[in-house]
Amino acid sequence: MNQSLDYKIHAPIGVFDSGVGGLTVAREIMRQLPKERIIYFGDTARVPYGSKSKETIIRYSRQIAHFLESRGVKAIVAACNTASAYALEEIRPELKIPAIGVVKPGAKVAAETTANGRIGVIGTEGTIASQIYTEMIHRHNPDASVMGKACPLFVPLVEEGWLKDPVTIEVARRYLASFQESGIDTLILGCTHYPLLRSMVQEIMGEGVNLVNPAYETAQELKRLLSQHKIPNDGKGDRQMPMYQFYVSDAAEKFKNFANSILPCEIEEAQLVQIEE
């Protein structure tokens, strides 16, 4: 094995999101690939991405991807549906390392597992307006009928901590009403915050609807990608290097508290980075 490949094997995975939502993806990577190191970047100074334009999302994602590359990561995961939808194809050619998003893995499994060909997608305004899930689903299943619904209040409700609250249930009922009439059998949780509302959404939609969590599918896709490039971590390497590192563009303390409420490990610090520079 040459030295460069050996370095790469032990290098961390770069994971980024507009804020805390991507932690649900980092959590799945920790569970499914426990030997991999992770560097997480949350763009908490410019959150949320969901309501911003394509040009702005590309500019922000480019800054972050280059920051992660400069930290020596071996692969990048855009753990943000909006960034995956708008920016991934644009910035991939500029990177020296492979990069995946959360949209393609979630779309693929939904396209392959639907029985009646009727798939729903919930997400931010940006993700739904981009039609990216429809496009990706049609690559695998051109006859599928895809219905999207933007749910802009879900993120602030999750961040308020009202996860099983009557207000959140009422908001969810309203957002999901159109799906109940249209007879979907598969619903993609197309925003990284939404897995935290999973049981509520399942209850409203009923057991007959299969919920797809792109975080889970993305960790599976990452596993395949690392094997394909022959760079999965063998668990050896520099033991001085921390397993998990967290960077944010603002409000590090608040980020740390949220992270510790949902991650399986305790994080001690989130470091502040001026990402605009």
46 scored as a contact of a second copy (CB under 8 A): yes
Using CB under 8 A, pick the residue from 251, 256, 263, 267 that binds a second copy.
251
Exactly one of 33, 78, 80, 103 is catalytic; name it. 80
| Pair 157, 81: CB distance under 8 Å | no
Residue selected from 34, 156, 183, 235 as contacting a second copy according to rule CB under 8 A: 156
Alpha-carbon distance of 50 to 57, in angstroms, equals 9
| Among candidate residues 181, 91, 80, 184, the one with its CA nearest the CA of residue 132 | 80
Is residue 157 within the footprint of a second copy (CB under 8 A)?
A: yes
For the chain, the maximum distance between any two Cα atoms, rounded to a whole number of angstroms, is: 58
Question: Is residue 159 a contact point for a second copy (CB under 8 A)?
Answer: yes
Q: Reduce the secondary structure of 167-193 to three states and give it as a string.
A: HHHHHHHHHHHHHHHHCCCEEEECCCC
Please provide the distance, in angstroms rounded to a whole number, between the alpha carbons at the two ends of the chain. 37
Quote the least distance from Cβ 44 to a second copy, whole Å.
8
Catalytic residue status for 191 = yes
Q: Does 263 bind a second copy (CB under 8 A)?
A: no
Q: Are 188 and 133 in contact (CB under 8 A)?
A: yes
Query: Is 151 an active-site residue?
Result: no
Among residues 191, 259, 273, 275, which one is catalytic? 191
Give how many residues touch a second copy by CB under 8 A.
25
Of 18 and 192, the one with the shorter C-beta distance to a second copy is 18
CA distance 242 to 81: 27
Min. distance of Cβ 126 from a second copy in angstroms? Answer: 10
Which residues lie near a second copy (CB under 8 A)? 44-47, 51-53, 55-56, 152-153, 156-157, 159-160, 166-167, 170-171, 174, 249-251, 254, 276
Catalytic residues, by residue number, are 80, 191
